[in-house]
Structure 1
Amino acid sequence: MTERFALIHNPRSRRNGKDDGTFRNSAARLLGPLFVGPSSREHVLDAVAELARREVPTIAIDGGDGTVSEVMSAIYRHYPADALPALAVLPSGNTNLIASDVGFGLRGIAALDRLAALARDGGLRRRVVRREALAVRWSDPDRPVTLGMFHGAAAFTRGVAIAHRPAIDRFSHDVAVGVAIASSIGRLALRSTRRKWLGGNRITLAVGAEAPREQDCFLFLATTLHRLPHRMWPFAPRTGAEGMSYLNVRAYPPHLAAATWNLLRGRSPEWLDACPAYERGQTDRLALRIGEDFVLDGEILNSGPDGQTVLSAGPAFDFIQGVA
């Protein structure tokens, strides 16, 4: 029996913008009303609500991390918690960190053909990996929960703002962030910006059930992904499948150049693990108050009037693997 699947296609994503119409036409012929090309975030919500009404069990997402975040957030609002659809992530965006860990492995016509073949054989869920989403909640109860998989604040927000500049934004996001980080490190050599960047942001942080503590934070990262592109891994080695990995770098961190070199290469020398300025761990809950914007899956979001957000792990999704 042929399985049903829907395809949400972001026509504004970097790679999809180069499509001459061949892919869109093929997808529309194959899927009919289950092919959706939303023009706005509101359209995504409406489309996912209709898919939930139809009880569509699998959704392919053709876009970058921002599109995946929008679709997962809409699923959280409209699908029953015990009947979440499986997802197939086609890496077509400016930010593809999620696809580097749980992506389908194909995009374009090749991905469409593979999805159709798996559906005909009843094998869409034959090979999946399970990951928790990273949920962001604000203190305002009327603000909807947003799901993503990679969160960053403090210096990371400034770095992403640099990466979004027109001179850099033509590159893929992981390359652009690398350029942005290099630019940020370079700014530390300038007396006019060194103190501002190294001094970080005043935050209040509570890890798990711990009491909140105030500190000046240079860099904050959290993710539910299990790997990043180019073997980067600034977090501690994971000790299980569940929970968020996080990195909290205090203001004026010692040995920053050496620490950056090791963290980006996924290394954990003893001196780094023993240094309290570089706090790394794994938890299911982080309460973060920061009076600045933060980044979720490449998108800059505001932290609300009081700056208070809560990050939590879950719900979990099955991500379909298209290639071995």
Structure 2
Amino acid sequence: MGIISNPRSRRNWKVNLKQKIGPGVLAAAPTTNEGLTQALRSFATHNLDLLIIDGGDGTVRDVISAAAPIFGESLPLLALLPSGKTNALALDLGVPLGWSVESAIAAYTIGQVQMRRPIEVSRDGEAPLRGFIFGAGGFVMATEFAQRTHRFGAIDGLAVGLSLIGAVAQTCLGGSHNRWRLGDRVEIFNHATGETSVRDFYLLLGSTLSRLPLGIKPLGKARAGFDVLAVDAPPRLLPFSACAVVMGHEGGWLERLGYHHGHNIPPVRLTLQQGYILDGEQFPGGTIELRTGTPIRFVTP
């Protein structure tokens, strides 16, 4: 067994890693990408059966992105100890806050496993990033708003709810040149059809998760695969449309107003003028490739 712990995760600030682990568990608490890579390379020499990730969504993204080229097809089973400001993947997997190393090992022993396919985001000359929630346009600004709510102690579902309310308010109260309403110009190349289109989107949101915080359902009915919501800029009848979207409605009048849902999205190339968000962190815009990755096995309660 091995554990990668993020000492910067909110619930780890006052916890000593030694208090979490038992005998025979390899442990590392890297604070840089280079330290994370070194720790994973060291773990790989021990032929791990179980790799425990102690952190939030961003920590999971960093670990599974760095682990892919190190472990290849021999990636061990993963388990999560949700200790970050946001823990959407843990919520989707049914992993409770406060889950322990002992509980993860016990679940591994009896073979309680679920699989999730990550989103892979890549650009020329760089190794792919792997995560589970992708966003662009207004989602970038909403994430910036969420980071401000974290400073006041709002985490997990509360932060999501405040960010949603704040995004709608900022959009509705702004004028025609409000940066929320203008959105982001996105060029989309569909590898399956060979077609290119250019659209101004208020929001792009995509995920491979079945369940999101607060029970919101902006991607519509949960399906296997990469689901996407794309909202044209400027958004129309936003206060009413936003309520319908978060309740899981799709198609019909929402489609006619510019709220588009897509399911099991094939590989696409996006050119973004602004940046994008992957599991809570902002990355530079430009041309990126999006696709679903190889399923990852998670030990769950």
| TM-score using structure 1 length | 0.85
Query: Could you tell me which of 11, 18, 26 is aligned with 1:15?
Result: 11
Judging changes above 3 Å, is the alpha-carbon distance between structure 1 residues 169 and 40 closer, same or farther for their aligned structure 2 residues?
A: farther
* Separation in structure 1 between the aligned mates of residue 167 and residue 185 of structure 2, nearest angstrom: 19
Aligned to 1:144: 127
Q: CA deviation at 1:184?
A: 2.3
8 Å contact from structure 1 (residues 200, 218) kept in 2: yes
Question: Aligned partners of 2:253 and 2:206: how far apart in 1?
Answer: 22
Q: Does 1:317 align with 2:299?
A: no
Contact persistence 1:218–1:252 (CA under 8 A): yes
Whether 2:44 is the aligned partner of 1:88: answer no
Cross-structure match for 1:65: 57
CA distances 1:269-299 after superposition (whole Å, capped 9, x unpaired): 7422x42611111213232110111111001
Corresponding residue for 2:243? 261
User: Matched residues in 1 for 2:39 and 2:112: separation?
Assistant: 26
> 2 CA distance for matches of 1:238 and 1:163?
25
Once residues 169 and 294 of structure 1 are traced to their aligned partners in structure 2, the CA distance between those partners, rounded to angstroms, is 24
1:275 and 2:266 aligned: no
Preserved contact between residue 157 and residue 214 of structure 2 (Cα < 8 Å) = no
1:231 aligns with 2:202: no
Q: Pick closer, same or farther for the CA change 1:103–1:301 going to 2, 3 Å.
A: farther
Alpha-carbon offset, residue 128 of structure 1: 1.0
Identify the residue that residue 162 of structure 1 maps to in structure 2: 145
Q: Which runs of 5+ in 1 are unaligned?
A: none
Q: How many residues get paired?
A: 299
TM-score by length of 2: 0.91
Q: Deviations over 1:61-89 (max 9, x none)?
A: 110000000110011120122x2211111
Q: Report the CA distance between 1:163 and its aligned residue.
A: 1.6
Residue 56 (structure 1) shift: 0.9
- CA separation in 2, counterparts of 1:186 and 1:26? 44
Secondary structure class of the residue paired with 1:206: strand
Q: Deviations over 1:68-121 (max 9, x none)?
A: 00110011120122x2211111110011111111253353xx5122234356xx
The equivalences for 1:49-128 within 5 A come to: 49-81=41-73, 83-105=74-96, 107=98, 111-118=100-107, 122-123=109-110, 126-128=111-113
CA contact (8 A) 2:149 2:162 kept: no
With over 3 angstroms needed to count, the CA separation of the structure-2 counterparts of 1:236 and 1:117, relative to structure 1, is closer
Superposition pairs for residues 155-304 of structure 1, below 5 Å? 155-165=138-148, 168=151, 170-192=153-175, 195-207=178-190, 209-210=192-193, 211-239=195-223, 241=224, 243-268=225-250, 270-272=252-254, 274-275=255-256, 277-282=258-263, 283-303=265-285
For 2:48 and 2:257, how far apart are their aligned partners in 1? 48
Does structure 2 conserve the Cα–Cα contact (< 8 Å) formed by 1:94 and 1:173?
A: yes
Q: Return closer, same or farther for 1:52/1:284 CA change in 2, 3 Å cut-off.
A: farther
Structure 1 segments, 4+ long, off by >4 Å, are 166-169, 191-194
